[in-house]
């Protein structure tokens, strides 16, 4: 059947409009929403369509996770031979950098399988992944893409380039990104795109940064250019850059020509006012990952301040899980606890989850995602809603 109808639902469009709809029709060939309306009207107009009866449940756009790591799945239950880490850098050295070195291409594939299944179960239909497997670099993004495409979810993939092991490995990571971005350009799909991945400022040298900028400018189409990087996740990144180069990581990447409206920088816990102005002028999006920030005890970014200044701040999980409802709850309570302020944050998290993640995904994929309207991506989920408070608007 060419069309799919979701009927008898309470459709929440997240477009800002207050129109009431109970049904929608999706073109299965394009994956886009054809029409919104009332159930009888839509079924009458598309009599041959498959119909899913929502039975009065909520119909929402699928959730978007703006930053995750599929490979981090294998950290669950992973025993550490050393004493438990006491600092963020020790967490990287004793856990993450040991884990990613152990991954084979089969491990990469299997971690994606589990995480994509988890995402689907949580209603997360768009994932922006940041991958690392130093001993299985070549073809690693294709292994992940096999999984996301077979599941029918939307994914933006990249390989995190780093000099922490060797310069040769950094070159291999750059090549994997370039190869995958060229694949996306030569075989375009609404379900798959990419970015140039970089681990962090403190694990990448100036020569590699120059190579990334030069090769991306020369070998990647403009519509696919942009970076995905952890920036100032802790004070260490900021202090290291200021000591080594007399500038912050944000200033370093601006100087290197790598910020822009398709780039995303993750965390930004330790950025300063000048950094914020640079991000605003570059129209670069910031991704907030509150659960990860609490887990690593690095603190929170000034997300309210950034949003007030016009910076787009989205919400990710940093690989903790793919569940955006849980991530939102963690941010809501975490910010209150850290600030000892009951009014620390509330509507801002909803804006990050819905409007801002939608805008970030649209800039990366090039079409409307994360809202229910005619012409937008037909990524919809159906949820039960049983709280004692009636949903009226």
pLDDT band for position 325 (cuts 50, 70, 90): very high
Contact 65, 85 (CB under 8 A): no
Question: Is 219 among the domain residues?
Answer: yes
Q: What is the greatest pairwise CA distance in the chain?
A: 68
Tokens coding 275? 């950094």
Mean pLDDT over 282-309 rounds to: 96
Q: Which residues have C-beta within 8 Å of that of residue 66, sequence separation ≥ 6?
A: 128, 264, 285, 287, 314, 315, 316, 357, 360, 361
Give the integer Cα–Cα distance in Å for 108 and 112. Answer: 6
pLDDT at 391 over 80: no
CATH of the domain at 40: 2.30.40.10
For residues 143 and 55, state if they share a domain.
no
**Total domain count, the chain:** 2
CATH of the domain at 341: 3.20.20.140
pLDDT at 326 over 80: yes
pLDDT at 82 over 90: no
Contact 298, 269 (CB under 8 A): yes
For residues 177 and 243, state if they share a domain.
yes
Q: Of 365, 375, 370, which Cα lies nearest the Cα of 352?
A: 370
For residues 267 and 136, state if they share a domain.
yes
Mean pLDDT over 191-219 rounds to: 97
CB count in 10 Å sphere of residue 55: 10
For residues 170 and 311, state if they share a domain.
yes
At 102-147, the pLDDT tens digits run: 999 999 999 999 999 999 999 999 999 999 999 999 999 999 999 9
For residue 50, what pLDDT is reported?
Answer: 97
At 4-24, the pLDDT tens digits run: 999 999 999 999 888 889 999
242 by Cβ neighbours in 10 Å (0-12 / 13-18 / 19+) ranks as middle
Question: Is 85 among the domain residues?
Answer: yes
DSSP one-letter string for 254-291: HHTT--STT-EEEE-TT--HHHHHHHHHHT-EEEE-HH
pLDDT band for position 232 (cuts 50, 70, 90): very high
Phi, psi of 138 (to 5 degrees): -65, 125
Mean pLDDT over 324-345 rounds to: 92
Mean pLDDT over 359-383 rounds to: 98
pLDDT at 80 over 90: no
Give the integer Cα–Cα distance in Å for 155 and 129. Answer: 7
pLDDT at 219 over 90: yes
For residue 344, what pLDDT is reported?
Answer: 85
Contact 71, 100 (CB under 8 A): yes
Question: Is 390 among the domain residues?
Answer: no
Mean pLDDT over 29-35 rounds to: 96
Helix axes 167-186, 206-219, angle to 10 degrees: 20
For residue 216, what pLDDT is reported?
Answer: 98
For residues 49 and 70, state if they share a domain.
no
Question: Is 391 among the domain residues?
Answer: no
Question: Is 318 among the domain residues?
Answer: yes
Q: Which residue has the tokens 């012409």?
A: 375
For residue 65, what pLDDT is reported?
Answer: 99
For 84, the domain range is 65-365
What percent of the chain has a predicted confidence (pLDDT) above 90? 86
Mean pLDDT over 40-62 rounds to: 96
pLDDT band for position 75 (cuts 50, 70, 90): confident
pLDDT at 87 over 80: yes
Question: Coil, helix or strand for 138?
Answer: coil
| Residues in the chain, total | 393
For residues 130 and 27, state if they share a domain.
no
Beta strand pairing call for 313-315 and 192-194: unpaired
pLDDT at 298 over 70: yes
pLDDT at 78 over 80: no
pLDDT at 393 over 80: no
Contact 93, 130 (CB under 8 A): no
For residues 96 and 162, state if they share a domain.
yes
For residues 47 and 125, state if they share a domain.
no
Give the integer Cα–Cα distance in Å for 324 and 268. Answer: 20
At 146-175, the pLDDT tens digits run: 999 999 999 999 999 999 999 999 999 999
Tokens coding 309? 């200044």
Question: Is 81 among the domain residues?
Answer: yes
Angle 6-191-373 from CA coordinates, rounded to 5°: 40
Question: Is 241 among the domain residues?
Answer: yes
pLDDT band for position 334 (cuts 50, 70, 90): very high
Q: Of 155, 214, 150, which Cα lies nearest the Cα of 184?
A: 155
CA contacts within 13 A on the Cβ side of 56: 4
For residue 79, what pLDDT is reported?
Answer: 78
Q: In what order do the strands lie in the sheet with 196-200?
A: 196-200, 227-231, 264-267, 285-288, 313-315
For residues 303 and 339, state if they share a domain.
yes
For residues 31 and 79, state if they share a domain.
no
For residues 53 and 82, state if they share a domain.
no
For residue 208, what pLDDT is reported?
Answer: 98
Mean pLDDT over 306-318 rounds to: 97
Q: Of 5, 85, 63, which Cα lies nearest the Cα of 39?
A: 5
Question: Is 393 among the domain residues?
Answer: no
For residues 57 and 69, state if they share a domain.
no
Phi, psi of 154 (to 5 degrees): -95, 135
DSSP letter for 97, please.
Answer: H
Mean pLDDT over 209-236 rounds to: 97
Give the integer Cα–Cα distance in Å for 216 and 222. Answer: 9
């Amino acid at each position: 059947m060419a069309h799919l109808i979701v009927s008898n639902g309470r459709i929440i469009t997240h477009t800002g409009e207050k129109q009431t709809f109970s049904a929608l029709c999706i073109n299965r060939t394009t994956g886009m929403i054809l029409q919104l309306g009332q159930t009888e009207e839509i079924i009458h107009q598309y009599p041959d369509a498959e119909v899913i009866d929502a039975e009065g449940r909520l119909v929402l756009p699928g959730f978007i996770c703006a930053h995750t790591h599929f490979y981090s799945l294998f950290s669950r239950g992973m025993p550490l031979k050393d004493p438990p880490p006491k600092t963020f850098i020790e967490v990287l050295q004793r856990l993450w950098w040991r884990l990613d070195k152990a991954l084979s291409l089969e491990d990469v594939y299997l971690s994606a399988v589990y995480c994509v299944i988890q995402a689907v179960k949580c209603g997360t239909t768009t994932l922006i992944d940041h991958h690392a497997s130093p001993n299985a670099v070549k073809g690693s993004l294709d292994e992940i893409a096999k999984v996301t495409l077979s599941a029918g979810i939307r994914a933006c993939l990249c390989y995190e380039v780093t000099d922490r092991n060797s310069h040769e490995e950094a070159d291999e990571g750059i090549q994997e990104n370039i190869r995958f971005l060229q694949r996306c350009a030569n075989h375009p799909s609404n379900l798959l795109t990419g970015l140039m991945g970089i681990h962090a400022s403190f694990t990448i040298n100036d020569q590699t940064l120059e190579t990334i900028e030069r090769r991306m400018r020369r070998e990647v189409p403009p519509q696919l250019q942009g970076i995905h990087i952890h920036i100032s996740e802790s004070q260490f990144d900021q202090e290291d850059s200021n000591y080594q180069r007399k500038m912050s990581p944000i200033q370093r990447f601006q100087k290197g020509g790598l910020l822009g409206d398709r780039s995303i920088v993750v965390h930004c816990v330790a950025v300063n006012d000048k950094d914020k102005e640079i991000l605003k002028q570059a129209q670069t999006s910031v991704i907030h990952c509150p659960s990860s920030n609490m887990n690593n005890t690095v603190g929170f970014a000034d997300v309210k301040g950034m949003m007030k200044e016009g910076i787009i701040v989205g919400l990710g999980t940093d690989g903790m899980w793919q569940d955006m409802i849980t991530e939102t709850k963690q941010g809501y309570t975490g910010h209150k606890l850290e600030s000892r302020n009951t009014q620390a944050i509330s509507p801002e998290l909803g804006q990050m989850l819905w409007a801002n993640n939608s805008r970030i995904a649209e800039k990366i994929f090039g079409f409307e995602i994360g809202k229910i309207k005619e012409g937008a991506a037909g990524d919809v989920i159906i949820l039960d809603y049983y709280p004692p408070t009636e949903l009226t608007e």
